[in-house]
Amino acid sequence: MKKINLILRLAAIMLAACFCFGCTSGGVSITTPDPNKPTPDPEKVKNLITGEQFSLSAGNVSKAYIDSLNSFSAKMLQELGSDWTGVASPLSVQLVLSLLANGLSDEAQQRELLSGICYDGELNELNVSAMAFINSLTSPKKDYSSKNAGIAKFTLANAVFTEDDREFNSEFVNNAYNYYGAELGNMDFSIAANAIDAINSWASEKTNGLIDQLISAIPDSTRSVLLNALYFNAEWSKPFTAYKGSLVFHGLNGDTMRTMLRSTGEYSYGKFADGEMLILPYSGNDYSMAIVLPSESRIPSESMAALMGKWDTCEMRQCSVTMPQLKLETNLDMLPILAKMGFEDLTSGNMSFDRILKDSDLITDMIIHGAALNVTEKGTEAGAATIAALNEAASEITDDPIEFICDRPYAMAIFNNETGAVIFVSVVNDLVS
């Protein structure tokens, strides 16, 4: 089986210098390529990549970009269905769509795609904001060593792979690498089983095994694929206690006895017309989980969409929290969902990506998103991956202690405290015994 040949990484150009000094670039770890894997002509690589990767700091992340991420998250969440139970990372999907936008030369189609991801600026502004945002999440200042085991771990990876006999467009290569830290390389699509295995292996590696089968098939005419993967692992700042079978969860389709997690203490809490929201912090104070119990007239996805980004409007209160122990896995065909979100040309095959490969017009006929979420008394582990395959052709507070009991449908969002950006969303309408 031919495996992915990682190319076009700046490390491949200056490999000896980088690894003598153990360097990283803007929070994206650079690993030594497998010496047994053949690599393209180094001069060809050097001639394609210019500029410096990840030169901005976290302070350069614009509010407009964060607002667009959260607006896209709310928009996607509401299109998943009123009875949907699962987990997703709109951020993962949005980053793949941002990479796709760099493959368009038609300005009208480019504008349509940017509007679809809720971004009002120009493509170059989007790229610069994405670079700063990725850097803020994956900065080298984050120490994941054993001595800081309690710190939340977050990793992010992007990649673009094309057929062995195809050449990348140099402008696309520079944008994908310099702004999105993407791995760029070759993949053999002639034997579908081998390509599927290589893609799933990439996703599994980047998500610590949580997403081990992102796809089960790939179109025969695939010429290139764009990939994103996210991984999150964090302990609660205040651990919960697990009580097996101690409470009934009242789902849309019936009651279920569940292992419940309980904790009492001071938490950030708000009561709104759309529902109640509780913020659970993770150790290290980089990330938090927002849980929303909808009001009687709302469903969980509606309430979460309405309250998304209002994290700072909650106030510290003494709370008694009860929620189910969870293990969720989701695999979504994103094209029908994106069609409902307004991506008409993209999902109908009328959007021509002519700046990804040289002398090739590509369309996408497959976008798949997979996600997994494990919530226990100790903390949370989550992973997500997205692939696009391309071919040719106001808060009200009471004075009494608050009982926050998730024994009915509710929604969750994991967000970054520094930027307020949503990383994962989840809705629980029903649970299996």
Phi, psi of 169 (to 5 degrees): -70, 130
First to last CA, the chain: 41
Which CATH architecture describes the domain 50-433?
Answer: 2-Layer Sandwich (3.30)
What pLDDT sits at residue 30?
25
Q: Which structure tokens are listed for 30?
A: 């650079």
Average pLDDT over residues 41-53: 42
Beta bridge partners of 262: 241, 322
Average pLDDT over residues 127-136: 93
The Cβ of residue 38 has, within 10 Å, a number of other Cβ atoms equal to 10
Tens-place pLDDT, residues 67-110:
999 999 999 999 998 999 999 999 999 999 999 999 999 999 99
Burial of 124 (C-beta count, 10 Å sphere; 0-12/13-18/19+): exposed
The whole-angstrom separation of Cα 78 and Cα 58 is 30
pTM of the model: 0.85
Query: Which amino acid does the sequence have at 78?
Result: Q
Tens-place pLDDT, residues 215-263:
999 998 899 999 999 999 999 999 999 887 667 889 988 988 888 999 9
Residue with token string 């009687």: 296
What pLDDT band is residue 15 in, cutting at 50, 70 and 90? very low
Average pLDDT over residues 369-374: 97
What pLDDT sits at residue 20?
32
pLDDT tops 60 at residue 60: yes
The whole-angstrom separation of Cα 257 and Cα 290 is 24
Burial of 22 (C-beta count, 10 Å sphere; 0-12/13-18/19+): exposed
Tens-place pLDDT, residues 323-367:
999 999 999 999 999 999 999 999 998 899 999 998 788 999 899
How is the chain split into domains, by residue range? Answer: 7-48, 50-433
Beta bridge partners of 422: 415
